[in-house]
Structure 1
Amino acid sequence: MKVLFTSPIIEHPAAGGPQLRIENSIKALNEICELHVISRASRRSLGGIKAEKFYKRHCVNFIYVPRVKFFFENKVLRDMEFGFNKKFLDKDEDFIINYIKQNKIDIIWFGYGNISYELMKNIKKKVPQIKMICDTDSVWSRFVLRGIPYEKDIHKKKLIEKEGRKKEQEEKEWVEFCDVTTAVSKVDAEYYKELTEDKNKIKLFSNVIDLRNYEDAGERPMNFQNPCIYLAGTFEPNSPMDKAARWVLDNVWDKLKEIIPDIRFYIIGNGSKNTLSDINDEAISIVGKVDSVLPYLKNADVALVPLFFESGTRFKILEAAACKIPIVSTTLGAEGIPVESGQNILIADEADDFVENIVKLIKDKEFARIIAENCNRLIEDKYGIQNLIEEGNLILRYIEKKE
């Protein structure tokens, strides 16, 4: 089958979970179909020529929508590349439709379809015969609405509520007009199934990792110190990661230092230096964006996933497990992944319990090793690229039978 994959988020090397999902989706789909890729991110945001060459190796054709090609060649400011100006969206739409017709595409697969609603809707109206897959990384309405309890400003609460309800309506609509909606976990799949009478059109397409990428840690970072805890993600003001880091800093960190005075804390990820610029503690290293988290992650004693609002499944857990680093998470942080506290992860939602779990893993090396190895086996069994290939095959076979 000829599949056209398009996404507004694409990058190599992947800087975070969203980019990692797209990279691994493309790798998997390339194994089971004739894959064409249209990037709605520019070469610059993609990662340059090297990244472009990487993706060209994993599909039969890799091109950009004219909008981002124009902005890149004319060196227009980066923030305009992602603007949702209707004129530019119309050009994207026309370009994709022409490509579908000229190349006799069977399926258009929208990576991050949950932020591509207008484009999906318009293309389906103009090319109703095209089979369409809305690929989701989460339940976006949950991602938005779960933030309400953590916002103090009443006006902002109302804006969050409005945005979340709008996403709920979009979810109801695309589940009906798309031939398949994918979910990254059974938890998310159950949500989408409640929106349609045809439960069969909701399919799993999980977050996975390419385990081969975690074999080489690279060099240990200069001046890296143990014992330490590690937190990685994408940081924006008032984002789930920003709130998670603040929760650890405000409720966990001082208690942890009292028990382990020489403990160090490494915070990694795009935007972290900006959102946490007020932190001034010699024992805390706010590293910012790095080419690879592995030199830090593989040398950490404990990886943290202290999330209280999010949706989907966490690459933070998959990556730490791949590196055999024990994990302490909140309940929501581990949502959608079949982990069991005390067996392959430690779960805590209260600060004192979170501290206790970190201390246990740092002080009891044998217990930490067992927890980490158990989680590693789970990830190897259920969350590798081969698993995604199998799920992708099931989706394509389902669509073939519908024709």
Structure 2
Amino acid sequence: MLNPVKKSLLIFTLSPPLPATSGAPIYITNTLIPLAEKYDLHLYTIGGSDEVEHIKQHKDLYDRYFRSVHVEPRAQMPSQKGTLGRIVHSLVHLYHGLPFMDASYYSVSAVRNARRIVKQHNIQALEIHSSHLAFFKKFISEVPAVLVSHNIESDIFPFWIPQHLTGWKKAAVESVARCSRRNTHQVEIDNKWKFDAMTFISQSDMDRVTAVVDKSYIPLCLPVKASNYDDKPDGHVNLLWMGGFWWHPNAEGVLWFVRSILPLIADKLVALNIRLHFLGAAPPDELKAVDDGRNIFVHGFVDSLEDMLDSSHLLFVPLLSGGGVRVKILEAMSNGIPVLSTSKGCEGLGATDGLDIVVRDDAQSFADAILQLAADPEQRSRLSRACKQLLVEKYNLQDCIEEKDRIYQKLLASV
């Protein structure tokens, strides 16, 4: 019997997704790689010489899962262009109704190369990761497509207006920003480019989309470790922050912690054997200044989190802004590490305060919770078991793979 011919899908990503070692690549590959035997997958990703070299270094991995790989150079940002270039950029984006005009990935070359790949490999469906790349559906409208939403991106990229602008320049940029935000809303919420299906990383994100479209909730699923919380080292209570400080919400949250929460607990760190560990690239000077080498440690970027996760007793997430599901929380929970967070920090996770997470929103209650949890290993152990159970019940990877396969079959049924 002849083997059936596999259907071909073109996968669009903002960066090379393999090996999957961080949130976005894990989210992309979790439900993609398990289906690589069933479908012919082709990769279209964004990058430069570093990304090309990265793919060459992992050639065996990419060859195993993708029939072809294309790396498209990143389109120039408006800030990289002169005055005339910025004007042309704005006019082109306005004409096409493109979103994220201040951080766009659109270029004529990008679209031309995507069309070439569709024709060359007889692509029958598109999977587009992030609304930043949704414009490919506009220009390849004849091919059925699913938009995989990693976040409601307009929450994170609202079009920042440079503070130094004044007069007519500020008014012009504000006008462009309004158009960009309107276009973004129409793409993400109204589905103006008529994606055949849309998937969402959180239930709350999915509920915000009003368009009549096939919508699926596909969370980020991480394998739950079999570790026992009670086996963690005693003697010190290690409290962990994870997240790069180049991202404004992370820097904002940790500086709030340093200015408003740390003074409320600083004189009790020694007595309760608390050690605060801050992991993440580009820590601000104000944070580095509190590193005393005894109870507060600012590690910066680390190559591997494994040892720190093994020894950590609590993750604290003092975030005040930003959007999307916090991968750091899911990663901690998958390792059985209980979590103390603000409401903003854990939105969209489906966790319940007091059951599988602790949520506090003002500085005093956040500080009180740190001290209470540090002094109560039984409560931490109970939270550890509960957060792992949350992942087992609400973040089932096999269910997500099957839902993605259902979407593929629907897209390809009309081909």
Q: TM-score, normalised by structure 1?
A: 0.78
Q: Pairwise mapping of residues 215-254 of structure 1 onto structure 2 (< 5 A)?
A: 226-236=236-246, 239-254=248-263
Pair 348,56 (structure 1): closer, same or farther in 2 beyond 3 Å: farther
- 2:159 and 2:387 map into 1 onto residues whose CA distance is 27
Shift of 1:337: 1.6
- The superposition leaves residues 291-340 of structure 1 with CA deviations (integer Å, 9 ceiling, x where unpaired) of 33222122111102222222221211211111111100111222122211
The corresponding residue for 1:78 is none
- Write the distance in 2 (CA, Å) between the matches of 1:332 and 1:317: 12
Check the 8 A contact 2:14/2:46 in 1, yes or no: yes
Residue 293 of structure 1 aligns with which residue?
305
Any conservation in 1 of the 2:332–2:339 contact (CA below 8 Å)? yes
- 198, 206, 209: which one aligns with 2:222: 209
Paired with 1:140 and 1:108, the residues of 2 have a C-alpha distance of 20
- Show the counterpart of 2:410: 398
The answer for the alignment partner of 1:40 in structure 2 is 46
Q: Does 1:329 align with 2:341?
A: yes
Change (3 A) 1:176 1:209: same
| CA deviation vs aligned residue, 1:6-39 (integer Å, no higher than 9, x gap) | 2112344556423332343433443653322222
Identify the residue that residue 20 of structure 1 maps to in structure 2.
Answer: 26
Counterpart of 1:93 (choices 108, 111, 114) is: 111
User: In the TM superposition, what are the counterparts of 1:269-308 in structure 2 within 5 Å?
Assistant: 269=280, 271-273=281-283, 279-282=289-292, 283-308=295-320
- Taking structure 1 as reference, are residues 386 and 174 closer, same or farther at Cα in structure 2, changes over 3 Å only? same
Using the size of structure 2 for normalisation, the TM-score is: 0.76
Q: Among residues 152, 155, 171, which one is paired with 1:142 in the alignment?
A: 155
For 1:396 and 1:291, the matched residues in 2 are separated by 36
Separation in 1 of the partners of 2:156 and 2:128?
19
CA apart distance, 1:290:
2.6
Matches of 1:17 and 1:84 in 2, distance apart?
22
| Change in 2 beyond 3 A, CA 1:294/1:66 | same
Question: Quick one: distance in 2 between partners of 1:386 and 1:392?
Answer: 10
Displacement of 1:96 in angstroms is 1.9
Instruction: Check 1:49–1:383 CA distance in 2 against 1; reply closer, same or farther (3 A cut).
Output: farther
User: 2:310 & 2:187 partners in 1: Cα distance?
Assistant: 40
Shift of 1:95: 2.0
Distance, in Å, in 2 between the alignment partners of 1:328 and 1:390 is: 32
Q: Would you say the 8 A contact 1:211–1:384 is kept in 2? A: no
8 Å Cα contact 2:238-2:313 kept in structure 1: yes
TM-superposed deviation, 1:354: 1.2
User: Which residue of 1 is the match for residue 61 of structure 2?
Assistant: 54
Q: Specify the alignment match of 1:131 in structure 2.
A: 144
More helix by share: 1
User: Alpha-carbon deviations, 1:219-269, whole Å to 9, x = none?
Assistant: x9xxx99322111123226x1111111121111122222233342222222
Q: Secondary structure at the match of 2:350?
A: coil
- How far 1:180 moved relative to its partner? 1.5
**Alignment partners' CA distance in 1, 2:19 and 2:346:** 25
Aligned mates of 2:164, 2:311 — CA distance in 1: 40
- Equivalent in 346, 359, 364 of residue 347 of structure 1: 359
Structure 2 counterpart of 1:117, one-letter code: A
The SS at the match of 1:177 is coil
Give me the whole-angstrom Cα distance separating, in 1, the residues matched to 2:17 and 2:49.
9
* Contiguous gaps of at least 5 residues in structure 1: 69-82
CA-based RMSD: 3.6
* Maintained 8 Å contact 1:143/1:309: no
Select 1:362's aligned residue among 367, 374, 387: 374
Give the equivalent residue in structure 1 for 2:84. none
Change (3 A) 1:399 1:64: closer
Q: Which residue of 1 aligns with 2:398?
A: 386
Q: Deviations over 1:140-186 (max 9, x none)?
A: 122345999xx999989x96974644522432464542112221111
Contact 2:201–2:218, Cα closer than 8 Å, also in 1:
yes
Question: Out of 135, 140, 153, which is 1:118 matched to?
Answer: 135
Structure 1 residues 33 and 312 mapped into 2: Cα distance closer, same or farther (>3 Å)? Answer: farther
Whether 2:272 is the aligned partner of 1:265: answer no
What SS does structure 2 have at the residue aligned with 1:291?
coil
Secondary structure, counterpart of 2:345 in structure 1: helix
Q: 1:175 to 1:357 in 2, by over 3 A?
A: farther
Q: How does 1:153-172 map to 2 (within 5 A)?
A: 162=178, 164-172=181-189
Cα pair distance change 1:208/1:41, threshold 3 Å: farther
Distance in 1 separating the partners of 2:352 and 2:177: 33
